[in-house]
Amino acid sequence: MPVPGKRPGTFLPGRALTARRPAGHAVRMVSVRHTVVVEPLPYRWLVDALGVVRALAEESRARGQRVVLPDGRAVPDVRLVRGRHLRPGAVYLVRDENGAGDERHEGDTGEGKDTGTGEAARVTIREWDRRRAVRLELAVAEDDGTVDLDAVLKSPDRPHLFEADGRVRFEGIPLVPSRLRGRARIRLDDWWTAADTGRGTPVAPASARLDHPWLHADVRATPRPGRDDGTWEVCVTVSLRGGSLLRPVVAVILALAGRRMRRSITRTLDGMAERWNEAVPRLAAMDTGQLRQALLTEARRRGDDGGT
């Protein structure tokens, strides 16, 4: 529970680091439980903000490869390289800040991925239905590896579930498995029920898992109302265990480095809470008109800086 007088963004001591053998597993596991205090984000604001973003996207038009906003300005750094705007199968190329992935793709037909130097993101629309789901695929190719992400938001008009599945492949790292896979799930209706009322849920409303041949990580997060100040207390549990390869070696590393890992994890969570508390109150203070104008202003600024 929060300490009287403590500012949002500070943390509450969680349970001590534990190292134990889960039943049925011949490997030591490190588990950290930590609580952060964050500013609340109203569910109604989230619904309205998603509506603003969706409306701007649906009011935009494609002119050749350019995507033009309702005010007539082209979206900086974005090209439609395949399909029809916002239709399933549409592919967009998003260049990086240095312009990589732009000119060399002016005649792109959408086949294959960027394999040049620098970074370019390719976004594919798999589904765009405001009542059912928005489903996107993201592919990023860099010199040192690739990232592929599949993400879906169910019922965008009244969002209740967000899921993402990602894969990372590193290049140029000898003797180390180069593939990493992760997945995340947030049950938005359960999150706000727990955050606003304190009612528990059978499983944590937010969860994530990261899998590497040498190590597996599980993250669970559950919110509850803060004490009398409108904040949220979010309890986060992070569990690490060795993978099937080199399991005894990983078990020793987890046992020896457990204290340092705990400090690193708690510092990371505290930093995330601080950044949330800096950004969320400013965003939540905006109504839909102000948010729409802010998004258009940012697009104009990027365009004036040479984005298009």
CB atoms within 10 A of CB 240: 22
Is residue 3 domain-resident? Answer: no
Answer yes or no: is 33 within a domain. Answer: yes
Amino acid symbol at 27: V
pLDDT at site 107: 43
Cα–Cα distance measured from residue 206 to residue 194, given in angstroms and rounded to the nearest whole number: 11
How many structural domains does the chain have?
1
Burial classification of residue 114, based on how many CB atoms lie within 10 Å of its CB (0-12 exposed, 13-18 middle, 19 or more buried): buried
Q: How far apart are CA 206 and CA 235, in angstroms?
A: 11
Q: Does residue 159 lie within any of the structural domains? A: yes
Amino acid symbol at 285 = A
Q: Higher confidence at residue 108 or residue 250? A: 250
Confidence of residue 97 (pLDDT cuts 50, 70, 90): low
Q: What is the DSSP letter of 105?
A: G
Q: What is the pLDDT of residue 106?
A: 41
Q: How far apart are CA 213 and CA 210, in angstroms?
A: 10
Answer whether residue 194 shows pLDDT above 80. Answer: yes
Cα separation, 157 vs 139, whole angstroms = 26
Are 213 and 227 in contact by the 8 Å Cβ rule? The answer is no
Containing structural domain, residue 158? 11-307
Looking at the predicted structure, is the pLDDT value of residue 78 above 80? Answer: yes
3-state helix, strand, coil in the chain (%, to 5): 30, 35, 35
Rounded CA separation 22/239 (Å): 11
Q: How far apart are CA 252 and CA 51, in angstroms?
A: 50
Does residue 140 lie in a domain region? Answer: yes
Q: Which region among 84-88, 100-104, 147-151 has the lowest average model confidence (pLDDT)?
A: 100-104
**What pLDDT sits at residue 145?**
85
Q: Answer yes or no: is pLDDT of 283 > 90.
A: yes
Above 80 in pLDDT, residue 41?
A: yes
Tens digits of per-residue pLDDT, 251-278? 666 667 677 888 899 999 999 999 999 9
- Residue 45 forms part of a structural domain: yes
Task: Please provide the average confidence, as pLDDT, over all residues in the chain.
Answer: 82
Distance of CA 50 to the CA centre of its chain: 15
Look at residue 84 and tell me whether its pLDDT is greater than 70.
Answer: yes
Coil vs helix vs strand at 299: helix
Question: What's the CA gap between 180 and 121, in Å, rounded?
Answer: 19
In a domain, 2, yes or no: no
- What pLDDT, on the 0 to 100 scale, is given for residue 196? 92
